[in-house]
Amino acid sequence: MKDTTLFSHELALKAEKSGALPKEWLELIYQEKWFKLFVPKELGGLECSLPEALQVEERLASLDGSLGWTVTLCAGAGWFVGFMDEQMRNTVFPASDLCLAGSGFVGGKADFVNGGFEISGSWTYASGALHATHFTANCEIFENGKPNLDEEGNPLVKAFLLEKNEVEILDGWNYMGMIATGSHAFKAEKIKVPAYRAFEIKPDKTTLKDPIYKFPFLQFAEATLAVNISGISLHLIDLIEESFWKRHHYRKYDQKHLSYFQKILEKKKKKLDKYRSNFFKESDKSWEDLKLHGEISKKHLKSLSKSARKLSHKCREYNAALYPFSGLEAAKTHTELNRVWRDFNTVSQHALLIFPF
C-alpha cells in the first residue's frame, strides 16, 4: 500500500463536503488499478484472486470507509466483465479511468425492439456514481410489450451496461455516514442499446475462464462487504482507544478504571482478530476448492457465509461495547472519530449482513 499519509482526516473531510472521493484518491485508485481488481491483466486489470482482493479492500476500508466501500462496490461491478460480450469487454475495459457503478435493484424494463433493447427505469444506491464511466442496471425483459419468462416461469431479468451520458444521476444519498461514496440513484428513459450490452450474472453464463467468475455472487458479495465492516471497525477501535487515553491525560482515571478499560479493550481486540482470522481462512478454503474442482462445495459456501455474517455481527457488538469509552469526542461531528463511527453505523446496516446466521 503506497503512502497511507495521503488518506488524511483533512482529505476525508473534503470528501464528505463534496460527497465524492477527492481527486487525490481517485488518481491513486487509477494508478493502482483498484477499480479493476477482478479485471483480466490483458484488459489493464489486476486479475486478483478473491483472497487477494479481500486483503486490499479491508486495508482501504481501515484507511477510510467511503474509500474502501467505493472501491469494493465499483470493483465488484467490474467483476461483471467475466459475464460480458467480448466486443463490450474489449471496447470498455481497457480505459485507465474505468469505473462501473451499479445497483442490485431490478428497477428497469428492457423491451426487445428491432434487434436491440429500449430501456427505461430507475435504480438506487449506485456507489461511486459521480465519477463512474458506466452503470450496470438490472431490467425485466419484455418483447412486444409482453414479459419474457425464465425456465421457472419467473420474469426474465438481465443486466445492462449503460454509458454515463445515457443516464441521469439523482440526488438520493442523504444518510449520516459513507457520504463520500456518493451512492446516488440514477435513471434512464427510453435509452436504445444494442443487444450485446445485455448480460446475465450466473455461473453458467461466464464468458471468461478465470475461476473468479465462477464464484457464486451471494458469497462474493457477503465476503467483500464483510471486510469493509471489519476494516472500518479496526479504524474505529484504534480511534476509541486514542480518545480514551487523551481523556485520561486530563481526567486522570484511577488504576481500577484504567485496568477495566484495558481488560475490555484487549478482550475485544483479541476476539475480533479471532473472527477475522476465521473469515479469511474460510475465504481461502472456498477459493482453493474452486480452483481445484471448478466449483465450491455447499459446505464451504455455507461456512463462508456464516463467517462473514458472524464477523459483521461481532464488529457491531464490540464497537458498541467500546464506544462509550471515547467520551463526548465521539459526538463532535467534525472529528475523525465521529466520522468513522457514522460510517460504521451506516455501512453495517446493509441488509445482506444484518443477521449472524
Kindly report, residue by residue over 157-191, the tens digit of the pLDDT: 999 999 999 999 999 899 999 999 999 999 999 99
Residue reference for cell 426487445: 112
Could you give the maximum distance between any two Cα atoms of the chain, in Å?
78
What DSSP line would sit under 21-40, residue for residue? Answer: --HHHHHHHHHHTGGGTTS-
Whether 4 shows a pLDDT value over 70: the answer reads: no
Can you list the alpha helix ranges (DSSP code H) found in the chain? 9-18, 23-32, 50-63, 65-78, 86-92, 217-251, 255-293, 298-322, 336-347
Select from 21, 113, 109, 122 the least CA-distant residue to 65. Answer: 21
Q: What is the pLDDT of residue 88?
A: 95
Between residues 1 and 72, which one has the greater pLDDT? 72
Whether 3 shows a pLDDT value over 80: the answer reads: no
Between residues 251 and 212, which one has the greater pLDDT? 212
Whether 329 shows a pLDDT value over 90: the answer reads: no
Q: What is the mean pLDDT of residues 317-343?
A: 94
Q: What is the pLDDT of residue 7?
A: 86
Whether 2 shows a pLDDT value over 70: the answer reads: no
- Supply the mean pLDDT for the chain: 95
Q: What is the pLDDT of residue 251?
A: 85
Beta bridge partners of 117: 112, 193
| Share of residues in the chain with pLDDT > 90 (%) | 92
CB 37 within 8 A of CB 53: yes
Could you tell me the domains of the chain?
A: 4-83 (1.10.540.10), 100-200 (2.40.110.10), 215-353 (1.20.140.10)
Residue reference for cell 431479468: 157
Whether 1 shows a pLDDT value over 60: the answer reads: no
147 contact partners, CB below 8 Å, separation of at least 6:
140, 141, 155, 156
Between residues 203 and 39, which one has the greater pLDDT? 39
Q: What is the pLDDT of residue 144?
A: 85
Q: In whole angstroms, what is the distance from residue 305 CA to residue 225 CA?
A: 11
Whether 118 shows a pLDDT value over 80: the answer reads: yes
Select from 161, 164, 196 the least CA-distant residue to 86. Answer: 196
Using the 8-state DSSP alphabet, how is residue 153 labeled? S
